[in-house]
C-alpha cells in the first residue's frame, strides 16, 4: 500500500474496454458517412449504429440474456457486420460459423455452443435444416433473405422482421467486465471436433486498435472484404475499420474481376486474405492485363509470399504485407514490418525478408521461440528451431467447455501455437513448420515448408504440399503433392524431383511426386492429414 493506491476506480475514469464503443464514436463523428456498402445497399454510420442498437434490443426482447450464444451463417454482408455489434450489445456472444461446413459439423457447433438464435442466409436453408434435424429445442431460426430469396418455411421469422421488434433508440449496456466473452469462433481443425475459441471484449478492443495502427488506417480507409468475416471476426477488422471511421465494402463471393471492379469503383485502399485469394487475383488479373489505378494494400495471412508473387502483385498495383496469426490470437499476432533499408534490396532479397512472419503487434507482449524440450527461449540465430509461443492481451479467453485443451494451450504462461519456427538475429520469427508436419528422415528434421517453398518456385507448380511418407530405411521421406498450373504443359515427377535436388540437400528433396488437385478444409487450408492417409503405411 502506497500513497497512490487509495485512488479508486470510479464511473468517471474506468469503464470496460469494448469495440462496441468504437461504433458509437464513429456514429457520432461520421453520422452521414458511408459505413458499409453491400451490393445495392449502403448504410451510413448513423444507420448502422441505429440498426445494431435496434437488433440488440430485439434480441433482449426475445429473452436473450448475457452470456447466451447467437450464431450466424452468412457471407460477408451488412447483416454479418451488424451482428458483430448487435449481438454483444444484447450482452450475448456471437458465434460466426464458416459457411463451407457440412451439416454434421454445423450441428456439432450449434449444439456445443448452445446457440439460442441462428441467423442464416437462405442460401443454406437445406444445410441448416439438416443440421438441426435432431435438435429437441432448435435455436430461433432467423432467415436472412438476400440472393436466395425468402425462407421456404424453415425460419421462425426473417431478419428484418426481428429487427422491427426492437427499438432503434434503445441504448445498450457495456459489458460489466471487459473480460466477458464477445464472440465464439470454432477452429477448423484438420482432425477431431472443432474447438470453440472464446474472445473477450478487452482483446477485441485492443485488436481493433492495434490492427488499425499496424496497417496505417485512417478515416480515408476503404476496406474490401476479400477475407470472410467468419475468419476470426475478419481478423478483428470488423471492428478496426469502424474504429477509424473507414468504409466496409462487402463481397459475398470471391471473384477476381468483381474484386477489381470494386477496388476501382470504391477507391479501395486495403484488403486482406489468404494466399489462395492473392494467387487467384494475380492469375486472373494478370491474364486480363489490368492494373490498379491507385495502389491498394493487401495483407496476406497464412503463407509466406514467394518473390514471384511479390513481383506480380507489385506490377498489378498491390502492396503486400505478410501477417501471421491464429484463431486463438484474434487473427494477426505478427506482421512482417518492412524496414526502410529493404527498399534498396533486390526483389529476391526482399522476398526472403518479407516471407518471414515478423514481429508482434502492439496488442501482444511477446512472441517467442521456445525450446520444445525445456520451454526456454532459443537463441535468435535464425537456426535453432522451437515452438512459437505467444502472450499478451490479444490472446483468447480459452476454449469453450474444454478445460483440458485450454490448460494445454496455456501451459507455463504461454499460448502454444504448435508452429515450429526460428528467431532471426533481427528478432523476426520465421515459421519452419507445423509441429506435426515435420518429416523426420534418418534422424534429420526436414521442414515440409522449406521443400514446398522450392516447389513453388517451379514455373509449372500452382500449389504444393509435402508430407512424410513411411520408408523402411529412413523412417520417413518427403512426398510431394503438386497441383500444376492451369494453362500449361503438365510437369513430370522426375522433372520436379530434379528441380528440388538442384536447390536443396538431396535428403530433403521429395522421393515421390503426386500430381492433381489438393484437398482443402472449409477455410482453404490444405488437408495434409488426408494426403498422409492416402499414402501406403
Which residues, at least 6 apart from 515, have a Cβ–Cβ distance to it below 8 Å? 482, 483, 484, 490, 491, 493
User: What is the full DSSP assignment across 429-457?
Assistant: EEEEEEGGG-EEETTEEE-HHHHHHHHHH
| Residue 213 touching a copy of itself (CB under 8 A) | yes
| Residue 413 touching a copy of itself (CB under 8 A) | yes
* Among 5, 191, 344, 376, contact with a copy of itself (rule: CB under 8 A): 5
Q: Which of 503, 445, 498, 454 is nearest to 474 (CA)?
A: 445
Minimum CB separation of residue 521 from a copy of itself in Å reads: 25
At residue 376, φ and ψ (nearest 5 deg) are: -90, 150
| Residue 15 touching a copy of itself (CB under 8 A) | yes
| Residue 176 touching a copy of itself (CB under 8 A) | no
| Residue 93 touching a copy of itself (CB under 8 A) | yes
| Residue 29 touching a copy of itself (CB under 8 A) | yes
* Footprint (CB under 8 A) of a copy of itself, residues 414-433: 414-415, 426-427
364-403 footprint of a copy of itself as x/- string (CB under 8 A): -x------------------------xxxx-xxxx-xx-x
CA dihedral (397, 401, 406, 407) positive or negative: positive
* Footprint (CB under 8 A) of a copy of itself, residues 235-274: 243-244
What is the CA angle 288-293-296, rounded to 5? 95
| Residue 223 touching a copy of itself (CB under 8 A) | no
Report the C-alpha gap between 80 and 525 in whole angstroms: 23
* Footprint (CB under 8 A) of a copy of itself, residues 99-118: 114
Measured from the Cβ of residue 187, the count of other Cβ atoms closer than 10 Å reads 19
Report the C-alpha gap between 435 and 372 in whole angstroms: 10
| Residue 490 touching a copy of itself (CB under 8 A) | no
**CB closer to a copy of itself, 139 vs 478:** 139
Please answer whether residues 509 and 501 qualify as being in contact, where contact means their C-beta atoms are separated by less than 8 angstroms: yes
| Residue 95 touching a copy of itself (CB under 8 A) | no
* Among 12, 40, 506, 536, contact with a copy of itself (rule: CB under 8 A): 12
Please answer whether residues 261 and 255 qualify as being in contact, where contact means their C-beta atoms are separated by less than 8 angstroms: no
Looking from the CA of 204 toward its CB, the CA atoms found within 13 Å total 34
Minimum CB separation of residue 15 from a copy of itself in Å reads: 5
**CB closer to a copy of itself, 288 vs 426:** 426
**CB closer to a copy of itself, 9 vs 506:** 9
Minimum CB separation of residue 421 from a copy of itself in Å reads: 16
**CB closer to a copy of itself, 204 vs 531:** 204
* Footprint (CB under 8 A) of a copy of itself, residues 65-84: 65-68
Please answer whether residues 292 and 318 qualify as being in contact, where contact means their C-beta atoms are separated by less than 8 angstroms: yes
Which cell numbers hold the place of 56? 440488440
Which residues, at least 6 apart from 128, have a Cβ–Cβ distance to it below 8 Å? 73, 106, 118, 120, 141, 154
Minimum CB separation of residue 242 from a copy of itself in Å reads: 11
Instruction: Tell me the site size for a copy of itself, rule CB under 8 A.
Output: 68
| Residue 198 touching a copy of itself (CB under 8 A) | yes
Please answer whether residues 169 and 53 qualify as being in contact, where contact means their C-beta atoms are separated by less than 8 angstroms: yes
Report the C-alpha gap between 252 and 3 in whole angstroms: 57
User: What is the full DSSP assignment across 12-49?
Assistant: TT-----THHHHHHHHHHSTTSEEEEETTEEEEHHHHH
**CB closer to a copy of itself, 10 vs 191:** 10
Note the helical H segments in 225-377. 232-235, 237-244, 256-266, 275-288, 307-316, 347-354
Candidates 101-109, 207-215, 315-323, 495-503 — which segment interacts with a copy of itself by CB under 8 A?
Answer: 207-215
| Residue 216 touching a copy of itself (CB under 8 A) | yes
In the complex, which residues of this chain contact a copy of itself (CB under 8 A)?
2-15, 17, 21-22, 25, 28-31, 65-68, 93, 114, 179-181, 198, 202-203, 209-210, 212-213, 216, 218-219, 243-244, 337, 339, 359-360, 362, 365, 390-393, 395-398, 400-401, 403, 406, 409-410, 413-415, 426-427
Amino acid at each position: 500500500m502506497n500513497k497512490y493506491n487509495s485512488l479508486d476506480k470510479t464511473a468517471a475514469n474506468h469503464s470496460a474496454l469494448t469495440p462496441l464503443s468504437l461504433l458509437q464514436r464513429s456514429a457520432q463523428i461520421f453520422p452521414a458517412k458511408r459505413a458499409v456498402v453491400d451490393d445495392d445497399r449502403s448504410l451510413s454510420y448513423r444507420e448502422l449504429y441505429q440498426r445494431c442498437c435496434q437488433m440488440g434490443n430485439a434480441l433482449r426482447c426475445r429473452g436473450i440474456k448475457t452470456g447466451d450464444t447467437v450464431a450466424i451463417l452468412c457471407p460477408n454482408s451488412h447483416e454479418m457486420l451488424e451482428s458483430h455489434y448487435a449481438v454483444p450489445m444484447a450482452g450475448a456472444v456471437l458465434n460466426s460459423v464458416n459457411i463451407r461446413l457440412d451439416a454434421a459439423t454445423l450441428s456439432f457447433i450449434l449444439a456445443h455452443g448452445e446457440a439460442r438464435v441462428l441467423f442464416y442466409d437462405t442460401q443454406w436453408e437445406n444445410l441448416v435444416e439438416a443440421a438441426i434435424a435432431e435438435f429437441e429445442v432448435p435455436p430461433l431460426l432467423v432467415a436472412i433473405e438476400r440472393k436466395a430469396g425468402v425462407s421456404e418455411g424453415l425460419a421462425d421469422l426473417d431478419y428484418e422482421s426481428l429487427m422491427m421488434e426492437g427499438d432503434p433508440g434503445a441504448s445498450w449496456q457495456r459489458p460489466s467486465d471487459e473480460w466477458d466473452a464477445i464472440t465464439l469462433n470454432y477452429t477448423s481443425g484438420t482432425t477431431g471436433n472443432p474447438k470453440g475459441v472464446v474472445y473477450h471484449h478487452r482483446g477485441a478492443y485492443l485488436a481493433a486498435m492495434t490492427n488499425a495502427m499496424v496497417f496505417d488506417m485512417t478515416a480515408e480507409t476503404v476496406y474490401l472484404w476479400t477475407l470472410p468475416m467468419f475468419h476470426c471476426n475478419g481478423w478483428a477488422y470488423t471492428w478496426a475499420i469502424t474504429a477509424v471511421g473507414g468504409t466496409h465494402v462487402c463481397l459475398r463471393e470471391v471473384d477476381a474481376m468483381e474484386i477489381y471492379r470494386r477496388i476501382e469503383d470504391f477507391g479501395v485502399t486495403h484488403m486482406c486474405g489468404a494466399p489462395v485469394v492473392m494467387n487467384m487475383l494475380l492469375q486472373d488479373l494478370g491474364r486480363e492485363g489490368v492494373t490498379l489505378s491507385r495502389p491498394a494494400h493487401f495483407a496476406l495471412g497464412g503463407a509466406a509470399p514467394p518473390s514471384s508473387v511479390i513481383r506480380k502483385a507489385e506490377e498489378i498495383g498491390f502492396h503486400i504485407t505478410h501477417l501471421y496469426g491464429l484463431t486463438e490470437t484474434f487473427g494477426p499476432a505478427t506482421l512482417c514490418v518492412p524496414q526502410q533499408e529493404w527498399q534498396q534490396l533486390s526483389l529476391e532479397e526482399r522476398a526472403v525478408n518479407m516471407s518471414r512472419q515478423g514481429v508482434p503487434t502492439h496488442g501482444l507482449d511477446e512472441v517467442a521461440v521456445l525450446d520444445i524440450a525445456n520451454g526456454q527461449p532459443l537463441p535468435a540465430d535464425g537456426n535453432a528451431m522451437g515452438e512459437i509461443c505467444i502472450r499478451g492481451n490479444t490472446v483468447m479467453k480459452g476454449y469453450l467447455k474444454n478445460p483440458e485443451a485450454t490448460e494445454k494451450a496455456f501451459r507455463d504462461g504461454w499460448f502454444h501455437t504448435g508452429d515450429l519456427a526460428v528467431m532471426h538475429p533481427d528478432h523476426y520469427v520465421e515459421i519452419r513448420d507445423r509441429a506435426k508436419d515435420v518429416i523426420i528422415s534418418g534422424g534429420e528434421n526436414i521442414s515440409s515448408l522449406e521443400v514446398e517453398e522450392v516447389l513453388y518456385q517451379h514455373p509449372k507448380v500452382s500449389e504444393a504440399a509435402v508430407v512424410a511418407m513411411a520408408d523402411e530405411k529412413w523412417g520417413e521421406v518427403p512426398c510431394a503433392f503438386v497441383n500444376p498450373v492451369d494453362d500449361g504443359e503438365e510437369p513430370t515427377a522426375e522433372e520436379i524431383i530434379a528441380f528440388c535436388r538442384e536447390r536443396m540437400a538431396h535428403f530433403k528433396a521429395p522421393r515421390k511426386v503426386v500430381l492433381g488437385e489438393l484437398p482443402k478444409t472449409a477455410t482453404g487450408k490444405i488437408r495434409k492429414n488426408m494426403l498422409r492417409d492416402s499414402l501406403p503405411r
